[in-house]
Structure 1
Amino acid sequence: MTTATATREGRIEIAGLTKRFGGFTAVDDLSFDVEPGRITGFLGPNGAGKTTTLRMLLGLIRPTRGTATIGGRQYTTLSRPLSTVGAALEATNFHPGRSGRDHLRVLADTSGIPTSRVDELLELTGIPAAARKRAGGYSMGMRQRLGLAAALLGDPQVLVLDEPANGLDPEGIRWLRGFLRHLSEEGKTILVSSHLLREVEQTVDDVVIIANGRLVRAGTMADLRGTPGALVRTSDVAGLAGALRVADVTSTVQDDDSLVADTTDLRLVGDVALRAGLPIYGLTPRAADLEALFFELTEGTNRNLGEAAAPAERDAVTGEEGANE
């Protein structure tokens, strides 16, 4: 398979996607792409339409308008879906009386996947010791690991994960971050929905932010952070700004009387201040904060939470009522 073919087959494309439940619009003309070999964070307030979007991507809810495709094809047309896309939308879709290993074996048997793959994934996700215990007794973190193992059974090119860090302790979150990075370096396409903004900032390459079912910002983490600089606190802001100009470093005075120098060289800033005899009591790298940007973009009343939704449409596959998030 050529690189171009792998890229095409692994790309998620959301185009003009819209979902209405009666008079309630959960997703509104949403468009974005998710590229192979990258981790994309899918963010938005509660009720923004994240889960509804993921369920349309996976063929669980029919869109009112628009398309959601994986490698140019809708999920329902994939001949071997488990080998193309792995999904973990919730950590409760297993029989509580069945062991974790048996849960995976049933999924593997129905898709013609060897049992050896089950044991491999139990090791990879760190739950071999609990594999023979009933899944109903698992902690939330263990359920998340079991769900991730199930999503990876068919060694898919694409992973779609809804809040995968929920219930994980700090060690588990660190493990998940490294595990997803390893998978992305193998060329897999990874779309992660999350509300843990600090964790997303340390994990993802790209970010898609939605509010009220509509796209408000999409881009790389580097683009969203903007131009990096140095945040400086001094008792003589004007004097330091002048000294930096002499050293060919531009700067901007902030509302709180701090100074942002347009350089990432903290040593240079410190040396300039020392030569000018100016005191510094704060000198740190500065970049846009994802959490601050998120709230700036999504602040205000969440329309989707404030309106009474029409009765939910039933899932196209399961027959259950669809979530209106």
Structure 2
Amino acid sequence: MTTAPPAPPSQIEFHNLSKRFGDFTAVRDLTFTVEPGRVTGFLGPNGAGKTTTLRMLLGLIRPSEGTATIGGRQYGAIANPLRVVGSALEATNFHPGRSGRDHLRVLAAAAEIPDKRVDEMLELVAIPAAARKRAGGYSMGMRQRLGLAAALLGDPQVLVLDEPANGLDPEGIRWLRGFLRGLAADGRTILVSSHMLSEVEQTVDDVVIISNGQLVKSGTMADLHGPSSALVRTSDPSRLAGALRVADVTSHATPDGALLVETDDLRLVGDVALRAGVPIWQLQAQVSDLEDMFFRLTEGQNRNLGDATTAPRAGDAIMGRDGGNEK
């Protein structure tokens, strides 16, 4: 009898994961893998089950069925988890009267991490000047940076972030994008929940989309975009279409008189048009937009979680009571 090879130490796996709060199912039979060395975007409408899924991964909520593991182990079985998994699920999990630096020092002391690392992380996330001020006075963007510094204290191989770009200005968002890409290039596993689709498109390698607690699509960004095509506008689309057929390239007329050509080779289209003596007014690559795909996959599927009686709180869930906060 053969046994499956052990999971890579920083691979995240969700297998048939489900969570019910009374009669309400927040997550249903969710299965996907997050690979090391890649940034994975975890997307879904508000109320889709993203935050509940991440809380199950981090041991804050018990699954009703299935497993969520890191390197084949549940979070609670990881010795000194701060050195293995860094996470930032909320930008308010600090004492407002404590300075940002002291907040990190408390976390570091619990994991036997020297204060030197605290100062290094404050420099890394670019808030050293504010680190000695009370965290309760921080802007949302500053709180996000403090949460990221806390997640990185133990130099973890796995990073789990929930809406990390919230509150960041454009410069901060650009910095975060490059920062996450650098961590992934270093071989770390990055799982990022976000609703900023245009930013996700520029940052992630892989995408997982859920709706109503269920997986609706997953894959690499290239796979999800599908095959590229070219949009061409010319004075004689019929003539160009014929020339393209001769070159064994398929094209279709659009309602507004352009041609949609089934190739991503713009030079080929230009060369065919030149040989056919057809002037080109416009030639551009067409790639499906993540935002369009997202709304197409989730349209009409989002449930209404506005009723407070169906919104379980994480603390209640751990104790086995109904309730919860879902995003």
How does the TM-score come out when normalised to structure 1? Answer: 0.93
CA-to-partner distance for each residue in 1:16-73, whole Å, 9 max, x for gaps?
1111111111111111100011000000001100011111111111111111111111
Alpha-carbon contact 2:89-2:162 (below 8 Å) kept: yes
Alpha-carbon contact 1:24-1:309 (below 8 Å) kept: no
Deviates more, 1:95-104 or 1:187-196: 95-104
1:66 is the counterpart of 2:66: yes
Is residue 321 of structure 2 the alignment partner of residue 324 of structure 1?
A: no
1:45 aligned residue? 45
1:96: how far off?
Answer: 1.2
Deviation at 1:235, TM superposition (A): 4.0
Q: For residue 13 of structure 1, what is the aligned residue in structure 2?
A: 13
Asked if the contact 1:22–1:311 (Cα under 8 Å) also holds between the matched residues in 2, the reply is no
Match status 1:161 vs 2:161 = yes
More deviation, 31-40/308-317: 308-317
Instruction: Give per-residue Cα distances to partners, 1:147-186, cap 9 Å, x unaligned.
Output: 0000000011110000001111111111001000110011
State the shift of 1:262 in Å.
2.7
Which residue number corresponds to residue 200 of structure 1?
200
Q: Determine helix, strand or coil for the equivalent of 1:116.
A: helix
Residue 142 of structure 2 is matched in structure 1 by 142
- The residue aligned with 2:116 is 116
Q: Offset of 1:79 from its aligned partner?
A: 1.1
SS at match of 1:8: coil
2:271 paired with 1:279 = no
How many positions carry a matched residue from both structures? Answer: 321
Match of 2:181 in 1: 181
**How far off is 1:256 after superposition?**
4.1
The residue number in structure 2 matching 1:25 is 25
The answer on whether the counterparts of 1:13 and 1:33 sit within 8 Å (CA) in structure 2 is yes
CA contact (8 A) 2:21 2:323 kept: no
Gaps of 5+ in 2: none
1:62–1:316 Cα contact (<8 Å) kept: yes
Greater Cα offset, 165-174 or 260-269: 260-269
Task: Tell me what 1:210 maps to.
Answer: 210
User: 2:26 aligns to what SS in structure 1?
Assistant: strand
**Distance in structure 2 (CA, Å) of the matches to 1:53 and 1:258:** 45
Query: Alpha carbons of 1:219 and 1:266: their partners in 2 closer, same or farther (altered >3 Å)?
Result: same
Map 1:98-109; keep pairs closer than 5 Å.
98-109=98-109
- Identity percentage of aligned residues: 71
Between stretches 263-272 and 203-212, larger displacement belongs to 263-272
SS at match of 1:47: coil
1:294 aligned residue: 294
1:142–1:310: structure 2 CA closer, same or farther, 3 Å change rule? closer
Per the TM alignment, residue 319 of structure 1 is displaced from its structure 2 partner at its CA by 9.4
Counterpart AA for 1:204:
V
Match of 1:221 in 2: 221
Unaligned segments of structure 1, at least 5 residues = none
Q: d(CA) in 2 for partners of 1:9 and 1:189?
A: 10
Q: Render the CA deviation track for 1:98-136: whole Å, top value 9, x for unaligned.
A: 111111111101110011111111111111111111111
CA 308–148 in structure 1, closer or farther in 2 if over 3 Å, else same: closer
The C-alpha deviation readout for 1:276-304, integer Å capped at 9, x for no partner, is 23233321111121111101100114235
